[in-house]
Amino acid sequence: MIVDKLDVVALGKGSKHAGWLTVASRPDGGDWRLPFLCVRGRQDGPTLVVVAGVHGDEYEGVEAIPHVFGQLEANDLKGDLLMVPICNMPAYEAILRSSPIDGLNLARVFPGIPDGSITHRIAASVRENLIRQADFFIDLHSGGITYNIPTLVGYAHDEGDLGQRSLQAAKVFGAHILWGHPLPLPKGRTISTAVGLGIPCIYTEAPGGGVARPEDVACFGNGILNVMKWMDMLAGDPEPSSIDYHFVGKGNLDQVVSAPLAGYFRPKVHLLEGVTKGQLIGVIQDFFGDTIHKTYADADGHIIMLRRLHRVQVGDGLVHIATPI
């Protein structure tokens, strides 16, 4: 099945559907398409939308989504589950975080432009065909090749109904670290678009590194099923889970401690380590091994993101510190 518009209601009830959503034409006469997987329950119920591969070098969700699709029986489901394992197909093809075609980061251009460059077109299509249909929205990310991030679930942090539903889903998802981001969320994201449409939402992170660790694939897959149980789309209760850390903060990974000069970065801290403002967290060395820059913590808290790749260019993010509540 190949479609230009994805309308879940137009797909047959009580069955599973796999197909391609066309988002833009290619210069070779073909099309850029996103793979979709949809399980339509026989009974009416809410719609859960799950996407992955917004960054082309993050693989946990790419693996978890087809696994969940394979596990589910349409007859066991109330409502609809709509999933796209790879949103940024050009970046996935090139094994890059951002698009090799227009250089844009898909997670910064939402809501997109329907007649813009390829990344804008994908964003506009994801917004209209996927996010807009959701009663709840999940975006599966990880640190990709460049960054190391603990396995966590992030959510829209707010006292209102949308924030409270996002928090509840984050708790039942099953990751042991929660990270709430007060509204308004930074612009350009899938989840800022969801919030703008009034849709509660969560996203995930994991260590990444160019691999999908089995424990993260299992966490993400079970997390989707747990949220479906919480939404009464599946029978049973979400698996009980404990929370090791609960952070609240902006979580804008564009605003991190970054490299003021190019060189070879060597961290002096490890992921989740507690640090205090002013503490040495890493050094940048030159080709002779001499330290040319020292990087210090800009806040008290725990290391939530640490650059994995040693080679750094000016402006590259090195570390981000989150504050527990």
Q: How far is the CB of 8 from Zn ion (least distance, A)?
A: 25
Q: How far is the CB of 190 from Zn ion (least distance, A)?
A: 10
Which 128-157 positions form the footprint of Zn ion (CB under 5 A)?
Answer: 141
189 interacts with Zn ion by CB under 5 A: no
DSSP element (H, E) containing 226? helix 214-230
Backbone angles phi, psi at 194, to 5 degrees: -60, -50
Q: How far is the CB of 140 from Zn ion (least distance, A)?
A: 9
Closer residue to Zn ion, CB minimum distance, 47 or 151: 151
Q: How far is the CB of 84 from Zn ion (least distance, A)?
A: 14
Closer residue to Zn ion, CB minimum distance, 45 or 53: 53
Other C-beta atoms closer than 10 Å to the C-beta of 251 total: 23
Q: How far is the CB of 146 from Zn ion (least distance, A)?
A: 10
Give the residue from 103, 97, 248 showing the smallest Cα distance to 167.
248
Closer residue to Zn ion, CB minimum distance, 55 or 171: 55
3-state secondary structure of 163: helix
User: Which residue stretch of 52-60, 78-86, 116-124, 247-255 sits at the interface with Zn ion (rule: CB under 5 A)?
Assistant: 52-60
Q: Which of 17, 33, 40, 55 binds Zn ion (CB under 5 A)?
A: 55
Contact 92, 86 (CB under 8 A): yes
Alpha helix locations (H) across 136-211? 161-173, 190-196
Helix 214-230 / helix 60-71 crossing angle, nearest 10 deg = 50
User: Which residue stretch of 53-61, 112-120, 184-192, 236-244 sits at the interface with Zn ion (rule: CB under 5 A)?
Assistant: 53-61
Q: How far is the CB of 51 from Zn ion (least distance, A)?
A: 11
Closer residue to Zn ion, CB minimum distance, 47 or 142: 142
Total residues interacting with Zn ion, rule: CB under 5 A: 2
In sequence order, what are the residues at sequence separation of 6 or more whose Cβ sits closer than 8 angstroms to the Cβ of residue 160? none
Distances (CA, A) of 64 to 50, 57, 67, 95: 11, 15, 5, 18
Closer residue to Zn ion, CB minimum distance, 55 or 308: 55
Closer residue to Zn ion, CB minimum distance, 206 or 233: 206
Q: Cα(136)–Cα(165) distance, rounded to whole angstroms?
A: 9
User: Which residue stretch of 16-24, 55-63, 226-234, 317-325 sits at the interface with Zn ion (rule: CB under 5 A)?
Assistant: 55-63
Q: Cα(156)–Cα(196) distance, rounded to whole angstroms?
A: 11
Closer residue to Zn ion, CB minimum distance, 55 or 302: 55
- Contact residues toward Zn ion (CB under 5 A) are 55, 141
